[in-house]
Copies of this chain bind each other. A is one copy, B any other.
């Protein structure tokens, strides 16, 4: 086996909302710094499926929103041995069984606004993933992926506020999200502390990507 044979890995930045904060799953090998969960592509048929396997390893979930972020290369390891890391990010619904015991590595959720120091270039990858998430949230409907299958409009708004880090106007939020036609009401109501909330669900047939107004004419 030549040592020019490259090492191919995927890593997955897994986001979820818990305790009113956006959280990311990090793992830690003994005596080492924290890292994003990483998996060798080797036994898997494709990059996608390796990323999904990484997610399943860590959370027990067999599906989630998963999107390729970027590919990084690195030659600084064993002399001449190239490492290529394909980074993904994933969004997990906040009601799912998060860190299943199935996770081989020691993993835990960390708030993204105060993560521990990360090894390799994982800090950079996390920053980029967060930027992509915020950016994407602004012009697509991807925010639903962080919620249970049905949710109230207030919950949805809170999710947006948590990720974007700013307060939003309730009436404007509702009007726009409804006009965009990406969610539909169910007949179910949820009883809570105050007046019951009507529950909504994501419309499977909705166009995910809505075109924003462009800068240039």
Contacts and interface: CB of A to CB of B under 8 A. Distances in A.
Interface of A: 1-2, 4-6, 8, 41-42, 45-48, 68, 70-75, 82, 84, 86, 137-140, 143, 160, 168-169, 172-173, 176-177, 180, 210, 212-217
Given A46-B75, A82-B41, A84-B8, A210 B215 contact: yes
Contact of A2 (B1, B71, B138, B172): B1
A111 to B, nearest CB: 23
29 contacts: A1-B1, A1-B5, A2-B5, A5-B5, A6-B8, A6-B41, A8-B8, A8-B82, A8-B84, A41-B82, A46-B75, A47-B71, A47-B72, A47-B73, A48-B73, A68-B70, A68-B71, A71-B71, A71-B86, A138-B214, A138-B216, A139-B212, A139-B214, A139-B216, A160-B216, A169-B217, A173-B216, A177-B216, A212-B214
Contacts of A47: 71-73, 84
A72 B73 CA distance: 15
A6 to B, nearest CB: 5
A46 B73 contact: yes
How many protomers of this protein does the assembly include?
2
Contacts of A217: 168-169, 172-173, 176-177
A143 B214 CA distance: 14
A148 to B, nearest CB: 19
A129 B138 CA distance: 22
Most buried by B among A4, A74, A212: A212
A60 B46 CA distance: 34
Most buried by B among A6, A70, A82, A216: A216
Contacts of A180: 215-216
